[in-house]
Chain A
């Protein structure tokens, strides 16, 4: 056995030395010398962020490893972020970070808060994959600059830039589930200072699939038009970014056929329809006062209008949401060691919600929250960085509140770094807008008068860059603890006929521990393995219980191989999702429980092959290749008008294996 292992190790070493460096990598950028050891590696698609906040930057190279049709599909190869369906009927998806719901992750586009409230359930479909240049995922309490809302972290999406190399790229995609997509980005440099860009997207998911024959579409059909026009102006003392965008989406789901045992005369087919119109605009003005000290003043503003008209069976929900955000900030480096950032912000949310269930119920919510912040960063030769921030905000609904946050990074050498963080976050809950997909359930949705959510987050992480056989082994270990002072708890357990959104009465916390390792086994072949344990508990009806529909662990193995000139690329990902608790079942008339107490672990495999040509690339791949599907994602699908009909008991994939192919074509770009 010993001999066998030694043999494998020797073979790996020999292979590593025998292979020449990947010619496609930039030789100047990816070589570093650590105490006379020169390390050269293939450019990694995911890079750890350098500052005191623990996070990773997911570059385009990483997004090319899978279909990544939209933001929600961009985390297939990422061990930290989980993306799950919120229910089995509407196609709504949510991110989970540190084992907690996506509402605790602050979503940013170009460093501006976005996709709030009513946009949250379907927001992961609102950012087409080919539009993205990179995604920054920060864990734990983030900087105070972007507000008080991030509790488990931030996800910041950077779109392709107007100032990027001129040209047009077109991406066409199709899959075996009857989905076709067309994406285009085009930019032009009008002069040395001014550039503009157009981003366009159209998708059509037209086929109705019912793989488990429960009479319901596994996924809604979706038609989406998405468009943006972005501008950049830059001279020596002034930088402007601005843009306008709109999204039009129509999704239709529900029953494919009438329930056989129900009379067509007395009962209708259960249908779901969601129509959305969203308009966005943003502007950023930066005045550079002293380039030598990085002194600048900036004004950043964002405006969005979101109109959604939805019907879930007989229930109708319309929401009109308007959000305006502005931030005025000042930043300077007094010396290379001392940085100060200070700013004012103003956030305004307006929601008019109309709910028709048994009667018409109209609610209007207005919240205005002005705030101010101060953030000081001390940087000692990049070995020690400490960042302390505090902000005070005043909400017309919840009064004045203070948000302290602290981060420290210690990197005594280039091999190891240690990060610690602690901070508080708050969130105003728009329970119906953020969870309107729960109206698809036959249970009654009961929403109490909710307080502002408040939570503390503490984190510790350590990254290691270990020279090993002439390459770098990247190791990372991290632990995060989040505990809520107040939380809007979605309670499925207390009453099987209700989904009760109520204020936390007791404990609610999350502990997550993650380790991940990346190593280029041979030149061009990079392996990543990761493991995360989730311990998420909350008090339901006076009892501290495991959060339902949340996997206890997640394992991930990815392998990515590029041929020496990077002309072929092969990627494969294995995800292992742990089991978890189901909401408390009720007894059926025959005495059996409505569902099992727990759901089991399952695996998913995805793979993709890409062939690069000078002006285009072709990719083919498959997702969920193990074909695993949750057997009964919709409870009592036979009787959608009953109180026991429930598509929200989703913990796994609702569709089997899917295959896809696509082409990206460049015009004008070299």
Chain B
């Protein structure tokens, strides 16, 4: 019973459509305070799983569950705390890249 439940949970977990969104921001990030502001606010957006900031490259990488949110919703989420986000690229996850190369 327990094994079945664990397997079911694992299957549901695997079924998640995890994607990443890379954006630049306006105003630009200057310091850890800017970074904390972005992370401290964006984390409450539905479907956001992880946020990484790269200040030298001026990039914010957001990992999200595509079943729960969209890049447009996330970009709108930036506006709630006074930032404007512009999509740079949407990189496929490593696993997806691997799958594609294998194909």
Chain A residues within CB distance 8 Å of chain B: 20-21, 23-29, 564-567, 613-614, 670
Contact = CB atoms under 8 A, between A and B. Distances in A.
A613 B43 CA distance: 9
A26 B35 contact: yes
Interface in B16-60: 31-32, 35-37, 39-41, 43-44, 48-55
Given A26-B32, A26-B53, A670 B37 contact: yes
A27 B29 CA distance: 12
Contacts of A565: 43, 48-51
Contacts of B49: 564-565
B52 A23 contact: yes
A26 B39 contact: yes
B39 A670 contact: no
B35 A23 contact: no
Interface in B50-103: 50-55, 80-82
A24 B54 contact: no
Given A20-B50, A567-B44, A28 B82 contact: no
B34 to A, nearest CB: 9
Contacts of A613: 44
* Secondary structure dominating the interface of B: mixed
Given A613-B44, A614-B41, A23 B50 contact: yes
Contacts of B55: 27-28
Contacts of A21: 52
Contacts of A25: 39
B44 to A, nearest CB: 4
B51 A23 contact: yes
Given A28-B53, A670-B82, A23 B32 contact: no
Contacts of B81: 670
A605 B99 CA distance: 50
Given A565-B48, A670-B81, A670-B82, A27 B41 contact: no
Nearest to B51: A23
B69 to A, nearest CB: 14
Contacts of B51: 23, 565
Nearest to B39: A24
A340 to B, nearest CB: 31
Nearest to B55: A28
A23 B43 contact: yes
A291 B15 CA distance: 58
A69 to B, nearest CB: 24
Interface residues of B, number: 21
Contacts of B52: 21, 23, 27
9 nearest A-B residue pairs (beta carbon): A26-B32, A565-B43, A29-B32, A670-B81, A614-B44, A26-B35, A23-B51, A23-B50, A28-B55
A397 to B, nearest CB: 49
Contacts of A614: 41, 44, 80
B12 to A, nearest CB: 18
A28 B32 contact: yes
B49 to A, nearest CB: 8
A566 B42 CA distance: 11
A23 B62 CA distance: 10
B22 to A, nearest CB: 14
B37 to A, nearest CB: 6
14 contacts: A20-B50, A24-B39, A24-B40, A25-B39, A26-B32, A27-B52, A27-B53, A27-B55, A28-B53, A564-B49, A565-B50, A614-B44, A614-B80, A670-B41
A23 B38 CA distance: 11
B3 to A, nearest CB: 20
A21 B50 CA distance: 9
Given A23-B39, A23-B52, 4 more contacts: A24-B40, A24-B43, A564-B50, A565-B51
A568 to B, nearest CB: 11
B83 to A, nearest CB: 9
Nearest to B29: A28
Contacts of A29: 32, 35
A260 to B, nearest CB: 59
A565 B42 CA distance: 9
A29 B35 CA distance: 10
Nearest to B82: A670
Nearest to A25: B39
Contacts of B36: 24, 26
A567 B82 CA distance: 21
Nearest to A24: B39
A21 B37 CA distance: 18
A613 B54 CA distance: 25
* Residue in A21, A26, A566, A614 with the greatest tally of chain B CB atoms within 10 Å: A26
B103 to A, nearest CB: 27
A566 B81 CA distance: 18
* Residue in A24, A27, A566 with the greatest tally of chain B CB atoms within 10 Å: A27
Contacts of A24: 36, 39-40, 43
Nearest to B31: A28
Nearest to A567: B43
A1 B12 CA distance: 37
Contacts of A20: 50
A613 B82 CA distance: 18
Contacts of A567: 43-44
